[in-house]
Amino acid sequence: MRSDGAAIAADAAVAATCAKYGSDRRHGDHVAVLARQLFEAFSPLHLLDGRYERILVHAAHLHDIGYFVAAKGHHRHGAYLVENDQEMRDYPFEDRALLAGIVRNHRRRARPAPKEWAKERRQALWWLSALLRVADVLDYEHTQAASIVQVQAQGTGFDIAVRGFDPRPFAVRLADKADLLESLCGGSIRFSGMSS
């Protein structure tokens, strides 16, 4: 996002698209907060600037809009809407495909970027998708209860301490959603719950 005007237009496009498709605003807001925390915590590894953080936040708000079309494949439907809906016309064209890719990758197997994309853009897709996947699963039940207390490098991986979320019942889902982040970090991602 090159200027304040472009950033404001992008924010407005995202808000209008979310409203049009009735996305769960509280869930989107909470996933955005968690995603921002993860973006900051892993910044020494991903080396992405604030422009990409803003795209990640937009993806957090938009990731479930595909439910308007159908629950099954909502990640694919959401990506299509991001790329093609009229409400998104004021979103910077060069960032819209990246945003759609992140929305698509928040669920199931992550798809790589097109080969013609620059290396930084391909890396951004992997990292932002990985961070969104983890942020989303931490609010899987849409309760907005989880908060990330700490992300710490430990041995061959990272420990993510979370308050308001018991990771034990979600162990399989957490492992599935953290797999991309683990591959990027080159180590395991471990979750621990903390009492309030």
Does 103 map to a domain? Answer: yes
Structure letter (DSSP) for residue 114: P
Does 91 map to a domain? Answer: yes
Q: What is the mean pLDDT of residues 30-46?
A: 97
Does 184 map to a domain? Answer: no
Does 44 map to a domain? Answer: yes
AA identity, residue 56: L
Indicate which CATH number applies to the domain containing 116. 1.10.3210.10
AA identity, residue 146: A
The Cα 77–Cα 102 span in angstroms is 13
Q: What is the pLDDT of residue 196?
A: 58
Does 181 map to a domain? Answer: no
Q: How confident is the model at residue 1 (pLDDT cuts 50, 70, 90)?
A: very low
Task: State the residue range of the domain holding 112.
Answer: 4-144
Tokens 């995202």: give the residue. Answer: 14
Helix (H, G, I), strand (E, B) or coil at 158: strand
Tokens 């595909």: give the residue. Answer: 66
Q: What is the pLDDT of residue 90?
A: 93
Number of domains in the chain: 1
Does 191 map to a domain? Answer: no
Does 188 map to a domain? Answer: no
Does 164 map to a domain? Answer: no
Whether the predicted pLDDT of 3 surpasses 70: no
**134-170 pLDDT tens trace:** 999 999 999 999 999 999 998 889 999 999 999 999 9
